Structure formats: structure tokens, C-alpha cells
Amino acid sequence: MPKQTLLVRESLFTIHSLDPENDIPASVLKSPLFFLGKTEDELSIVVPDSIDVPSLDSDDGWRALELLGPLHLSMVGIMAQIGEVLASAKVAIFVVSTFDTDFFLVKDNKLKDAVRALKGAGYTVNQDI
């Protein structure tokens, strides 16, 4: 199977942690790109850093590598393979998924290392600029 293509999104992103009982801020729902995850213990929100979210904790300075899809839900091992490439390059990831694709978030200061490693492993990486 040929290697996939990833797109480096231009925006910086912030990962927020909120109390699970919090409402989702309207600014998040109006954002052109956001991700939500909720458990009994927390509500996590990933948004462009231009979106203000009052949170208990946050981590900013993330860039998104979008795996260009659509990918079929029956495809096996794609996330693991990309994760292995990035782990070998000592690049930490935060992964979020949609029905059609996956987003690999990496710290902005590790983006060059991530792109170099992915290209070295045969992936195509395009810039969103």
C-alpha cells in the first residue's frame, strides 16, 4: 500500500482540559476546526490558539498534521505506522480523529523533525500556506 499524504495546517492549536460538567463555549462551536472529547473525569477541547477557552489547564503551541482522506474505517495500522515514525524521531503526538481522517498534533518546535522523519519514511507532507 502506498504511503499517505499529510497536510501541515498553518494554525497553532491549544489543547484545553475542563471540568466534565462545563458547557462547551460558544466560541469553540463557531470555530472552523475543533475537537471535543469527554469522559467522566474531563472535557478536552482542541482549538486554534486564537479561540479563548477558560480552562483548568491548557497546553499551547501545537501544529496539526492532517492525514488527507477520506480514510475508510476498515483501514488498519495507519495511525500506528505514523506514530512509530514520529516516536522514532522523538516527536510527541496528540491524536484526534474524525470519521474520515486523523490529525497528528505535534509541538511547533518539533514540526521540522516530524516532517523530516515522515518524508524519510516515504510519506508526502504538504504545507497549508
Tell me what pLDDT residue 128 has.
64
The fraction of the chain above a pLDDT of 90, given in percent, is 78
pLDDT digits (tens, 9 = 90+) for 30-89: 999 999 999 999 999 999 999 999 999 999 999 999 988 766 666 666 788 999 999 999
- In one-letter notation, the amino acid at residue 128 is D
- In one-letter notation, the amino acid at residue 54 is P
Inter-axis angle of helices 111-120 and 78-88, to 10 degrees? 120
**103 close to 65: Cβ distance less than 8 angstroms:** yes
Q: Where are the alpha helices (DSSP H) in 1-129?
A: 26-30, 78-88, 111-120
Alpha carbon of residue 22 to chain centroid = 23
Q: Residue 15: pLDDT band by 50, 70, 90 thresholds? A: very high
